[in-house]
Amino acid sequence: MPMVSKKVLSEQLKQMEENHIIQRIEVYNFPPEVYYKPTDQGKKLGPILNQLHQWGNDLNA
């Protein structure tokens, strides 16, 4: 996976959160931690993403 800037990553995560694909989980430790997990709606994308991944692999074979 190519390097992605922190700004672009933050924007993409925020957009996926707004579209209910992922859920942001904040853990108030020291230092603070943030995790993301797929929502039920996001989990439904798994098979589609797997098929796209396989399609890409087939093209590069």
Task: List the domain range (segments joined by +) for residue 15.
Answer: 6-60
Tell whether 1 is covered by a domain.
no
Q: How many domains does the chain have?
A: 1
pLDDT per residue over 10-45, tens digit each? Answer: 999 999 999 999 999 999 999 999 999 999 999 999
Query: Could you tell me the pTM of the whole model?
Result: 0.77
**More confident call, 49 vs 1:** 49
Q: Has residue 36 been placed in a domain?
A: yes
* Whole-number Cα distances in Å, 13 to 5, 48, 51: 12, 19, 22
CATH number at residue 48: 1.10.10.10
Residues 38, 21 contacting (CB under 8 angstroms)? yes
